[in-house]
């Protein structure tokens, strides 16, 4: 029986109601909703429910109707070097160690500064937002300058406390890197848009002593460890020659394996090493485009997933990719995963989209806050418009997100309930400013 009007509950006031043709919540896995709505209050999702129910239950201050769109969680870029967007195309068509030793490290020695990092990170943050990325896991120098840029752009970020043994313009030795990075963490520890990781660069640039200290700090401060690992065959061979064991075995000996480890690349792992990572509950940041471009190898992602390892996607930096584009990473990961496994059913579209969202959040310890569309989580969202004639016909919107659509279809992006991209346009960053930044540094680096 319908209650009399006097007993009907008044609609609940909320800030925003988004209606979409399709909503992909990621959880429960394999779900795609039609004609539903997402209710948002402040920075938080209040409810996900059918449109008809939403229109009677809520009284929004603003209503957005996305008639030909998929609404989904914002993407999580699990590994990038944001400031290196200023080196896009600067060192192309070289293998990793020549790329580093002949081009990247010399350029960093000449140009990297707080201004370089602030400007490059702002450029990267704009590119990521425009492509539906709402959170990234960064690793670079001068993290305070990166923090300023991420906050200006409105992108959620985890900043690496980068550690290497040799001096740079940023720090003199491993202890100096740690001291400076931890000081930045202390300054921003109460900033809700920012968090931190311990980021030793790689086994070939970090000593046993430093690794042991990082393991201790990770446990004491509850910080993930974010590092390149088993990226190339040469890295593995050099470790056996210098340390008498492969990099992963060395890290196990030093106490770094565990659920706090985010292993970036992991392209050269043997079967027992995959099982070892699985037993420790470690995570992998898969960067397929960078791995292909540098000819580092193709990670056996289907084997990782079969062992129950959590895998997210990273763009790597724009100097080795050259796009900060997770739709590209999803497509490359799905295709390479099938090829390596020789199994066309490996890495289905739902699984790939979960890896780009929830699994990335899980690796960062943020899956209770972001990565799926559930009541109580932060309203980090992106919407893609699928009515372009070039995308038709569309039998399965989920498949389309991985195999057909790209970042150019991203129309709207919200981070913490705040609209950062509106109908493909950045709301808070001027393209003219971004172009000026790029031209300034290109001229300096060409001089």
Q: What is the pLDDT of residues 379-413, one digit of tens each?
A: 999 999 999 999 999 999 999 999 999 999 999 99
308 and 346 fall within a common domain = yes
pLDDT confidence of residue 100:
87
Which residue has tokens 């313009």?
A: 169
424 is a domain residue: no
> How large is the greatest C-alpha to C-alpha distance in the chain, in angstroms?
82
The pair of structure tokens assigned to 337 is 């995963």
Quote the pTM value.
Answer: 0.96
198 and 241 fall within a common domain = yes
Beta bridge partners of 384: 70, 410
Count Cβ atoms within 10 A of the Cβ of residue 216 and give its class: 0-12 exposed, 13-18 middle, 19 or more buried: exposed
445 is a domain residue: no
178 and 197 fall within a common domain = yes
- How far apart, in whole angstroms, are the C-alpha atoms of residue 263 and residue 43? 31
Does residue 94 carry a pLDDT above 90? no
Mean per-residue pLDDT, 275-299: 97
Q: What is the edge-to-edge ordering of all strands in the sheet holding 133-138?
A: 75-80, 133-138, 156-163, 194-200, 225-229, 261-265, 283-286, 310-313
The pair of structure tokens assigned to 439 is 């031209």
Mean per-residue pLDDT, 325-343: 97
104 and 25 fall within a common domain = no
188 and 289 fall within a common domain = yes
221 and 352 fall within a common domain = yes
- How far apart, in whole angstroms, are the C-alpha atoms of residue 417 and residue 343? 40
- How far apart, in whole angstroms, are the C-alpha atoms of residue 295 and residue 166? 26
CATH number for 50: 2.30.40.10
Cβ–Cβ < 8 Å for 316, 289: yes
Helix (H, G, I), strand (E, B) or coil at 160: strand
Cβ–Cβ < 8 Å for 164, 206: yes
Region of poorest pLDDT, from 84-93, 143-152, 205-214, 223-232: 84-93
Domain residues for the domain of 41 are 5-73+379-416
141 and 207 fall within a common domain = yes
343 and 383 fall within a common domain = no
- How far apart, in whole angstroms, are the C-alpha atoms of residue 401 and residue 201? 33
- How far apart, in whole angstroms, are the C-alpha atoms of residue 77 and residue 59? 34
pLDDT confidence of residue 360:
98
223 and 356 fall within a common domain = yes
Helix (H, G, I), strand (E, B) or coil at 31: coil
Beta bridge partners of 71: 23, 383
Strand 310-313 relative to strand 133-138, pairing: unpaired
Which positions ≥6 away from 439 have C-beta within 8 Å? none
Helix (H, G, I), strand (E, B) or coil at 233: helix
CATH number for 161: 3.20.20.140
Whether the CA torsion 147, 150, 154, 160 is positive or negative: it is negative
370 is a domain residue: no
Alpha-helix residue ranges (DSSP H) falling in 165-222 = 174-188, 208-221
* Residue 6 pLDDT class (50, 70, 90 cuts): low
Mean per-residue pLDDT, 176-185: 98
Structurally, how many domains does the chain consist of?
A: 2
Strand 410-415 relative to strand 418-422, pairing: antiparallel
438 is a domain residue: no
387 and 344 fall within a common domain = no
Tell me the average pLDDT of the chain.
96
184 and 227 fall within a common domain = yes
335 and 245 fall within a common domain = yes
Q: What does the DSSP assignment read for 401-431? A: HHHT--GGGEEEEEETTEEEEETTEESSS-H
Region of poorest pLDDT, from 67-76, 106-115, 148-157, 354-363: 106-115
């Amino acid at each position: 029986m319908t209650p009399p009007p006097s007993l009907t509950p008044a609609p609940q006031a909320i800030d925003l109601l988004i209606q979409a043709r399709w909503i992909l919540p990621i959880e429960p896995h394999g779900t795609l909703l039609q004609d539903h709505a997402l209710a948002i209050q402040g920075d938080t999702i209040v409810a996900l429910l059918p449109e008809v129910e939403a229109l009677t239950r809520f009284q929004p201050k603003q209503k957005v109707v996305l008639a030909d769109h998929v609404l989904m969680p914002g993407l999580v870029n699990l590994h990038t070097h944001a400031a290196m967007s200023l080196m896009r195309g600067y060192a192309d068509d070289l293998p990793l160690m020549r790329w580093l030793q002949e081009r990247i490290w010399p350029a960093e020695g000449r140009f990297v500064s707080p201004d370089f990092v602030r400007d490059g990170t702002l450029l990267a943050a704009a590119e990521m937002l425009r492509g539906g990325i709402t959170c990234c896991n960064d690793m670079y120098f001068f993290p305070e300058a990166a923090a300023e840029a991420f906050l200006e752009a409105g992108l959620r970020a985890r900043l690496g406390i980068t550690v290497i043994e040799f001096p740079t313009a940023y720090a003199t030795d491993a202890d100096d890197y740690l001291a400076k990075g931890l000081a930045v963490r202390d300054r921003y520890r109460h900033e809700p848009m920012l968090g931190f990781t311990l980021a030793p660069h790689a086994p070939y640039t970090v000593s046993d002593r430093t690794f042991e200290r990082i393991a201790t700090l990770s446990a004491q401060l509850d910080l993930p460890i974010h590092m390149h690992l088993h990226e190339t065959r040469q890295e593995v061979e050099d470790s056996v020659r210098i340390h008498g064991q492969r990099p992963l075995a060395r890290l196990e000996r030093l106490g770094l394996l565990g659920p706090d480890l985010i292993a970036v690349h992991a392209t050269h792992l043997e079967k027992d090493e995959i099982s070892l990572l699985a037993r420790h509950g470690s995570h992998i940041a898969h960067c397929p485009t960078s791995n292909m471009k540098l000819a580092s190898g193709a990670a056996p992602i289907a084997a990782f997933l079969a062992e129950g390892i959590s895998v997210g996607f990273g763009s790597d930096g724009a100097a080795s990719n050259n796009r900060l584009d997770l739709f590209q990473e999803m497509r490359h990961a799905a295709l390479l995963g099938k090829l390596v496994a020789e199994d066309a059913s490996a890495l289905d579209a739902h699984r790939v989209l979960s890896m780009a969202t929830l699994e990335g959040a899980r690796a960062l310890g943020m899956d209770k806050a972001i990565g799926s569309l559930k009541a109580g989580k932060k309203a980090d969202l992106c919407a893609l418009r699928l009515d372009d004639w070039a995308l038709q016909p569309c039998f399965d919107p989920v498949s389309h997100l991985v195999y057909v659509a790209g970042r150019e279809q991203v129309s709207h992006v919200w981070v913490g309930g705040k609209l950062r991209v509106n109908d493909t346009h950045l709301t808070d960053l001027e393209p003219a400013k971004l172009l000026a930044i790029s031209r300034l540094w290109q001229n300096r680096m060409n001089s």
